[in-house]
Amino acid sequence: MHTNVEQIFTFIDQESTFIEEQQSATYLEGVVYALELWLEDKKVPTVTNPTKEQIRKAIQLAILKGMKSTSQVNHQMTPDAIGLLVSYFVKVVAKDKKELSILDPAFGTGNLLYTVMNALPSENHAYGVEIDELLIQLAAQTGELLTHDIQLFRQDALKPLLIDPVDVVVSDLPVGYYPDDETAQDYFLHSKEEMSYAHHLFIEQSMKHVKPGGYLYFLVPNTIFESKQAPQLHKFMKENGWIQAVIQFPASIFKTKGQEKSLLVLQKKREDLKGPREVLLAKVPNMTNKEAMELFFQKIDIWQEENAK
């Protein structure tokens, strides 16, 4: 007996491989073709009532297969382990809200944001911005199959965005230098001495597009506060928001050494609110150790309760 995830993956894989072999296209272009067949009801996987998570996971497996040979580090899909932890945090913010608006300005395949949306009980409306045409196409098809309420923009996210401020920003930021120096000049966080860091500019752009009191969850390099441009970033964060938490992930979940990331949680300042009593600094344990993970989540719950007082 095959599971729904296996059935859906097999369907996408067969169609993608066929296209790859017949039309000198890439496997990922084949995935676009397979999803198009499914959306247009021309050919569909043989499954009964798949859940949104089953559909997301199967598409994720196919995209991961396609990315294995081609993708650069900055295009890689956000691993599920990270998406699940971010969902845990966002669920707390969403608890008392009927509706939630969410933005991911570096949307990629959408895997991170869809993981979060699938985990939320509230109704949510999301916005995604992505510069890469193939990735945003895959993301749009996945969003349609998951029937999520989402608006996508194919553009450079550091150029002006036609998006109203949201409740929550969630993003696995592209890391490195931003090549468009002219656009960077519009940012407080541009560097006068060298090219500006894209991940710093993304933080500033996101802060602009979140409501006062709203939360921002960023995947950032572990070394973000050690670089030459870090003092300016510190200043910006202090003036505009509060650092709520910095959580380091185990190196084992990242494919490439030196690319390890942490989850940085910020809240945009609002006059009637105070900053956190204590910034949560934590390390995620080995995720296969159930007991250690339970203790870790307990620690987060206690911190969140203390902060809410």
Distance CA 200, CA 59 (A): 31
Is position 77 an interface residue for ligand SAM (rule: CB under 6 A)?
yes
- Which of 104, 167 has the CB closer to ligand SAM? 104
Distance CA 37, CA 24 (A): 19
CA 248, chain centre distance (Å): 16
Is position 221 an interface residue for ligand SAM (rule: CB under 6 A)?
no
- Which of 141, 307 has the CB closer to ligand SAM? 141
What does the block give as tokens for 127? 């916005």
What does the block give as tokens for 7? 């059935």
Is position 140 an interface residue for ligand SAM (rule: CB under 6 A)?
no
Find the binder of ligand SAM among 135, 140, 150, 263 (CB under 6 A): 135
Is position 172 an interface residue for ligand SAM (rule: CB under 6 A)?
yes
- Which of 13, 172 has the CB closer to ligand SAM? 172
- Which of 57, 303 has the CB closer to ligand SAM? 57
CB of 49 to ligand SAM, least distance (A): 25
Binding mask 255-294 for ligand SAM (x = CB under 6 A): ----------------------------------------
- Which of 152, 303 has the CB closer to ligand SAM? 152
Binding mask 144-163 for ligand SAM (x = CB under 6 A): ------------xxx-----
> Which residues have C-beta within 8 Å of that of residue 217, sequence separation ≥ 6?
86, 89, 90, 168, 169, 170, 171, 263, 264, 265
CB burial string 53-67: b at 16+ within 10 A, e below: ebbbbbbbbbbebbb
Number of residues that bind ligand SAM (CB under 6 A): 20
Is position 229 an interface residue for ligand SAM (rule: CB under 6 A)?
no
Distance CA 53, CA 115 (A): 8
How far, in Å, are 30, 53, 116 from residue 145 at the CA level?
Answer: 17, 11, 16
CA 106, chain centre distance (Å): 7
Find the binder of ligand SAM among 66, 174, 214, 221 (CB under 6 A): 174
Q: Is 108 left (phi over 0), alpha (psi -120 to 50) or beta?
A: left
Is position 60 an interface residue for ligand SAM (rule: CB under 6 A)?
no
The dihedral sign for the CA sequence 11, 14, 18, 24: positive
Is position 116 an interface residue for ligand SAM (rule: CB under 6 A)?
no
Distance CA 187, CA 258 (A): 28
Q: Which stretch binds ligand SAM (CB under 6 A): 88-96, 123-131, 140-148, 239-247?
A: 123-131
Q: Which stretch binds ligand SAM (CB under 6 A): 103-111, 222-230, 238-246, 290-298?
A: 103-111
Other residues' Cβ atoms within 10 Å of the Cβ of residue 121: 11
Spatial contact of 196 and 181, defined as CB atoms under 8 Å apart: yes
Residues that bind ligand SAM (CB under 6 A): 74-78, 106, 108-109, 111-112, 129-132, 135, 156-158, 172, 174
